[in-house]
Amino acid sequence: MRIIARISLPLTAVAVAAPVSAGDLQVQFEIPRLRVAEYHNPYVAVWLEDANGKAVANLDVWYDTDLRGDDPRKWLPDMRTWWRRIGRSSTMPANGISGPTQPPGRYSLRFSEGSRPLPRLAAGSYVLKVEAAREVGGRELVSIPFQWPPAKPMTGTKLGSKELGAVRLSIKP
């Protein structure tokens, strides 16, 4: 099930107010508001890689599904890392994974292990990847490493510098 919640509370407050349930993986991130002459919502991809850099779960992909005149998938390779690791071998649109782009704001995605699109993960080291690419704009990739399964609820936060704001991963055994 694809659930995108646009949230207005500060990230820390959300983490307290809506803790993840068992087996859940929650990704929160911000698309910053940019003062530029021509703004298009960014393409965003969220996925997991194992310790070898192999993609193990394609969690979420936002792209311009209403693009007029062109194949909407044309610009997917602009999310370069995602495209190479999993995008080019995936079929888009993908039920429960892909959706339209979103305006600046804070977003929260929640995934349950064993329920599409998050498969059961073998114990080990993983990396959460969030990549954003914007038409006439830049590209940014944020990585948050984690161990699965976690012994106790864990959170990790990284700050994007341009195309992404704070990215926060919350996991719970």
Partner 1 sequence: MFAKPSLIAASLALGLSTLVPTAAEAHRRWLLPSSTVMAGEEETITVDAAASNGLFIFEHRPLGLDDLSVTGPDGQIVEPVVIGSGAYRSVFDVKLAQQGTYRIAIASEGMMGSYDLDGERRRWRGSREDMASGIPEGATNVSVSENAARTETFVTLGAPNETALSPTNVGLEMIPVTHPNDLIAGETARMRFLVDGAPAAGLEIEFVAGGTRYRDEPGIRTLTTDAEGMVTLDAAQPGLYYLEASAGRGEYEDGPDRRLSYTAVLEFMPL
How deeply is 2 buried, as exposed, middle or buried, from its count of CB atoms within 10 A (0-12, 13-18, 19+)? Answer: middle
State the number of binding residues for partner 1 (CB under 8 A).
Answer: 15
Stretch that binds partner 1, among 17-25, 34-42, 72-80, 93-101 (CB under 8 A): 72-80
3-state SS, one letter per residue, for 123-157: CEEEEEEEEEECCCCCEEEEEEEEEECCCCCEEEE
If binding is defined by CB under 8 A, does position 101 make contact with partner 1?
no
Among 47, 83, 107, 146, binds partner 1 (CB under 8 A): 83
Span interacting with partner 1, options 20-28, 34-42, 73-81, 151-159, rule CB under 8 A: 73-81
Let me know how long the chain is.
173
- Distance from CA of residue 131 to its chain's centroid? 7
Told to check if 80 binds partner 1 by CB under 8 A, we report yes
Mark the segment that binds partner 1 (CB under 8 A) among 4-12, 34-42, 66-74, 108-116.
66-74
